[in-house]
Structure 1
Amino acid sequence: MKFIASLAALASVALAQNAGIGYPKEAQKLHAGDDVVVQVQRPNSLTGSTELSVAIGITSCVSSPCLSPEDTMGNILYHGDFKPSYHESSAPPYENFTVKVPSSLKNGKAQINVAHFALVGASNYPFLETLNRTVTIA
């Protein structure tokens, strides 16, 4: 029973640390070769955390289903520090990253992938999550 309680506690800590993708929006049209803003949000939680980094990638899904970002990040557009902060009271803390969509990306369905890494809680539990957002390359 203690084991199940421990797993539940770890799961609740992990869920409390989730990041999100604010931009681009789902199915938004992007253009190959253009700059695009990827907004990574990190809402506050009761559990303390130390934000370390994110990696942002993009992959084409024109000729095959989009793969999970756990399996591939695609073309890496950014990797480095992640320091979300408040910008307006109506939005959670976030950081915007301006990245260039590769000019070689085929028109059609594509996926923005984000890997988020943080240390969580008093014990500095290592936490890694992956996120994705489907977009259209026009």
Structure 2
Amino acid sequence: MFSSFKSLLVLGCVAASAVAQQIAIAIPATNDTVSAGSNITVQVIKPDSLTGSTEVGIAISLKSCASYPGGCAVVDISQALGDILYTGLYDPEYRSGEWYPFQNFTVQVPSGFPSGQAALGVTQLALVGAGPYPYTQVTNQTINVA
């Protein structure tokens, strides 16, 4: 019984450290409108964690939801990212007055991108813990393209 308790405790710690690594898109905000062909700033934040991690990189993508009944609410961008706007290093840093470390990326919305709802996504790969083990995450939010 003690062995299963230890296994459960270890599993819980691994799950907690993974949750603590989660990133989020701060800019643009949900339901903001951007123009096709324009440059936009995507701000990716990473809350602090007690578990050490090494960022490997991210990909920023944009997937049109215009052809889906139900819009972006029914789109799973982890299965198909859409147009890739950026791939490369992710090195979030603290700046004065900010709660979380973040990094800004300037990306271009493809000209001719369909207007309507779109899922702006960020895919992250990090190495977590002393092991380390690979950790991936896909997060997104809905924006509007005009």
Give TM-score, length-normalised by structure 1. Answer: 0.94
Unaligned runs of 5+ in 1: none
Aligned partner of 1:15 among 3, 19, 24 = 19
Deviation at 1:52, TM superposition (A): 1.1
Aligned partner of 1:28 among 13, 26, 32 = 32
Aligned partner of 2:125 among 117, 120, 123 = 117
CA contact (8 A) 1:69 1:114 kept: no
Aligned to 1:79: 87
Describe the SS at the equivalent of 2:57: strand
Aligned to 2:101: 93
Number of aligned residue pairs: 138
Amino acid at match of 1:106: P
Deviation at 1:6, TM superposition (A): 2.7
CA contact (8 A) 2:63 2:77 kept: no
Deviation at 1:90, TM superposition (A): 2.7
Q: Distance in 2 between matches of 1:133 and 1:47?
A: 26
1 or 2, which has the higher helix percentage?
2
CA contact (8 A) 1:107 1:137 kept: yes
Amino acid at match of 1:92: Y
Deviation at 1:76, TM superposition (A): 0.2
Amino acid at match of 1:102: P
Question: Displaced runs of 4+ in structure 1, greater than 6 A?
Answer: none
Q: Distance in 1 between matches of 2:44 and 2:28?
A: 10
Bigger Rg over Cα: 2
Deviation at 1:107, TM superposition (A): 1.0
Q: Distance in 1 between matches of 2:19 and 2:97?
A: 23
RMSD, aligned CA: 1.1
Describe the SS at the equivalent of 1:45: coil
Q: Distance in 2 between matches of 1:137 and 1:129?
A: 24
Describe the SS at the equivalent of 1:5: helix
Aligned to 1:103: 111
Describe the SS at the equivalent of 2:50: coil
Aligned to 2:65: 61
CA contact (8 A) 1:41 1:95 kept: yes
Residues 29-81 of structure 1 show CA distances to partners (whole Å, capped at 9, x for unaligned) of: 00000000011111211111111100000010011043222111110000000
CA contact (8 A) 2:17 2:49 kept: no
Aligned to 1:6: 10
Q: Distance in 2 between matches of 1:31 and 1:88?
A: 31
Deviation at 1:8, TM superposition (A): 1.3
